[in-house]
Amino acid sequence: MLRFTPLNTCNPRLNSDLFTMFTVFSKNLIAALFLAFIYSLSAYSQPVGSLPYTSQEVAADGVPVLIKHLPEWETVHHQAKFAYSVGELKSILGDHPILDLVEFPGGTEAVTAPYGSGKLLVIEYATPQASIEADGIFTSKLARETTVVYRRIGNYNAFVFDAADQAAANALLDQIKYEKMVQWLGKNPYDISPERAFVIGTADMFLSTLLVIVMGIGLAVLCGIVSGYVFFSIREYRRASMPTFTDAGGMTRLNLDGFTPDVVPERLLKD
């Protein structure tokens, strides 16, 4: 027959250890519940629409800018899906041959959304050069395609797949606006060709060098004239302040320099 001994009479030291463990466990449990509560509040306070998307450029309300450029984005943003690979595009849009030509270099994003006129795909490239290069590839491939309507809008390469009516598909593409602008801190280096920029830069450098040389010569001449005039004025002032000087030693001499005083007639020797 089994007999149960009360806990407080079997081992006092064991009772103390158990009580300590229970206290620590209770404190840890309370701390864990408090952290979970704080995390749930922070997750709940996030803007609606910010969690399902992962984009490089997100607006203040948590919705990516690429989605906001879709036609009627307030209606379709719940159905919009981002893609970062060709496999994701095919899983959403189907196995279209044109999708095999799509590449995703660094910074490239794509978003899809269903519309009544077809499935819209918008690919945003990081640079205009990449968008232009892809545009040439897509245009040559879709020359004879009737179920896919394509257009390049800014850095957006937009497609409408399974388009039954091309007019409706084009009207859908008309609603896409590329509103991003690049503002240079200085002069836009792509306004002119590199060859013309080199010629203009060389001409500007030649003219500026010539102007500096001419200005240097003119400044040197002007400084020389002013210095000569000042030096001549100082010498004239000093010469005017000097007493009359003659080297005749009191003897009669020709008054060629005008410094010898006239001889008084009364002092001339007579016979």
Other beta carbons less than 10 A from residue 222's beta carbon? 10
Reduced to 3 states (helix: H, G, I; strand: E, B; else coil), residue 121 is: strand
Reduced to 3 states (helix: H, G, I; strand: E, B; else coil), residue 119 is: strand
Torsion region of 250: left, alpha or beta (phi above 0 gives left; psi -120 to 50 gives alpha): left
pLDDT at 1: 44
Q: Which portions of the chain are predicted below pLDDT 70?
A: 1-57, 59-62, 180-184, 188-191, 242-271
pLDDT at 2: 44
Q: What is the largest CA-CA distance in the chain?
A: 187
**How far apart are alpha carbons 69 and 64 in whole angstroms?**
9
